[in-house]
Structure 1
Amino acid sequence: MFQYKKIERLGIITLEKSPANSYDIHFFNEFETILNTIENDQNIAVLLLKSGIPKFFCAGADIKVFASNTVVQNNEMVAKANKIAKIISTSTKIFIAFLNGHTLGGGLELAVACDIRLASNKKFLIGLPEVKLGLMPGNGGIPRLVNAVGYSYAFEMVVSGNPINSEEAFRIGLVHKLYDEKTAEEEALTYVKNLSKGPKTAMATIKQTFAEGVGKNIQDFLQLETNMVKTLYDTFDAKEGFQSFIEKREPKFE
């Protein structure tokens, strides 16, 4: 269901569960094992999450499985989905989702748990259609979508269940970078490789600062930022950053 490989400080997870990367409890159990391995790998700075299935990033829950499950089984699957999203959103690694196919329901919830979203401009759907099944998102999709695009856009997407395309997702800020479909995968890989060369400790601290600061009043957020930057002054990477600047060379971060 998954392929995992490392390229220096970059980890790449490829979703490969035909035909649409729809998930069930077994999918999440295997996913969790991979994520735990990555979190314990101190050399990894950035993780790219992408699909190896044509036309789909992830279609969310396997509807046939969901329909045949008991309520208890579905609650267990939702709890596991939430756990996976939390692992991603609280990880010390920077998670990047590359969307190059339909990203629906729990698939979008997985994408918004990531820190950065890249996409191809080819024609595919992005949305949270749960309301059309008499349900609503339950894997953290609503609050994370609000954080990504704001209350107004998020509410309309969720209450209507209507999907958008990648160009609209880019326009509203759901997708950070949009690439031409002919070169998208190559450009996305270049982007994540470059990011993975950055200072791991500083990037992890930035992620933590954003996560803890959102929702605070401005004074508390400012104090948090002050406290967090103080933890970086004496690190190897900060010293290397200053020294490489003085010596006019590329930094070699830990």
Structure 2
Amino acid sequence: MAVTATTEDRIGYITLDRPPANSYDRTFIEELGAATDQLDSDDDVRVIVVRSSSEKFFSAGADVKNFAESDADTNNDMVRLAHRVFDRFGAIDKLTIAAINGHALGGGYEIALACDVRIAAEGRYRIGLPEVTLGLLPGTGGTQRLPRLIGRGRALLLMTTGTSVTPDEAARLGMVDRLVPAEELTDHVREVASTIARGAPLAIAATKRAVHRGVDRPLAEGLQIELDELAPLFGSEDGAEGMAAFLEKRSPEYQGR
């Protein structure tokens, strides 16, 4: 399989493994969707990490040869499928983290963009959306997610020139959320994911929903969403446990109730 789902210590891992560059076809996208659904339905999993088995590539995006050999209807159908699958990363309650260790280009970077958080390794690889150089556009979320992340002007400049950037530049622009030494990426991502996995799952899910639902709305609407998400937490067992643990100076034990 090109995409597998595994679990360890309440962390779900989606591993991309289609040598040499994790370029994807329809089967890859279907497997990515199945892996996401599997981990989302596992109540023991609290956070999901998307990672690559390759030392050089996170993902080079869609398989261009496959696109070139297929008709327009087939290509558009696969892109629509990719939209549905990538949208799942933001729609599920569990936080999703992209661990970028190598080239993340085109649809490969769009996988990372669809995740809630992007943690990248330092290195000499490239990150970007070069689809315009193929006479196309970033069609699996790039034209919408990148401007929301780094601003319209910067995003348009990158996408219309097809420019890719180094990890350092990506971090400066906000294309990735955190940059760490390459040899520390695996341990750092595991530490971040473990911290989230130990946290209050209801509160984390509510925080994610409040951000995703409210950030692009007028402030007043966003603040109302925040209040709506907070209200049930005061009546939850986890809320009572968190406050009791704070007052008793001990570590909380959250159950997701």
TM-score range, shorter chain: over 0.9
Residue 20 of structure 2 is matched in structure 1 by: 19
1:171 is aligned with what amino acid? Answer: R
Q: Does 1:201 align with 2:202?
A: yes
After superposition, give the CA deviation of every residue in 1:27-58 in whole Å (9 maximum; x if it has no partner).
11111111111121122110000000120001
* 3-state secondary structure, aligned to 2:82: helix
The offset of 1:14, in angstroms, is 1.1
User: Distance between the aligned counterparts of 2:226 and 2:184, measured in 1?
Assistant: 37
User: Which amino acid in the other structure matches residue 146 of structure 2?
Assistant: L
- Alignment-derived partner of residue 87 in structure 1: 88
Return structure 1 stretches of 4+ with deviation > 6 angstroms: none
Cα distance in structure 2, aligned partners of 1:2 and 1:137 = 22
Alpha carbons 2:4, 2:35 under 8 Å: kept = no
| Residue type at the aligned position of 1:235 | S
Gaps of 5+ in 1: none
CA distance in 2, matches of 1:105, 1:96: 18
Question: In the alignment, which residue of structure 2 is the partner of 1:128?
Answer: 129
| TM-score, scaled relative to structure 2 | 0.96
Q: What do residues 205-252 of structure 1 show as CA deviations (whole Å, max 9, x unaligned)?
A: 111111111221111111111111112111121111101101111111
State the distance in 1 between where 2:182 and 2:112 align: 19
Residue matched to 1:50: 51
Task: Identify the range of structure 1 (31-40 vs 156-165) with the bigger mean alpha-carbon deviation.
Answer: 31-40
The count of aligned residue pairs is: 254
Structure 2 gap ranges (5+): none
1:1-20 equivalence runs, <5 A? 1-20=2-21
Aligned partners of 2:4, 2:124: CA distance in 1, in Å? 25
TM-score, length-normalised on structure 1?
0.97
1:167 match: secondary structure: helix
User: C-alpha separation between the residues in 2 aligned to 1:140 and 1:60?
Assistant: 12
Are 2:157 and 1:165 aligned?
A: no
Q: Any idea what SS the aligned residue of 2:183 has?
A: coil
Please name the residue that 2:232 is paired with.
Answer: 231
Q: Secondary structure at the match of 2:234?
A: coil
Q: Quote the Cα distance in structure 2 between the aligned partners of 1:166 and 1:196.
A: 27
Q: Which amino acid aligns with 1:82?
A: H
Deviations 1:133-172, CA, capped at 9 Å, x for gaps:
0110111111111121111211111111100111111112
Give the distance between the partners of 1:185 and 1:47, measured in 2 at CA.
Answer: 14
* Equivalent-residue separation in structure 1 for 2:124 and 2:193 (angstroms): 23
Deviation at 1:199, TM superposition (A): 1.1
Counterpart for residue 73 of structure 2: 72
Instruction: Name 2:247's counterpart in structure 1.
Output: 246
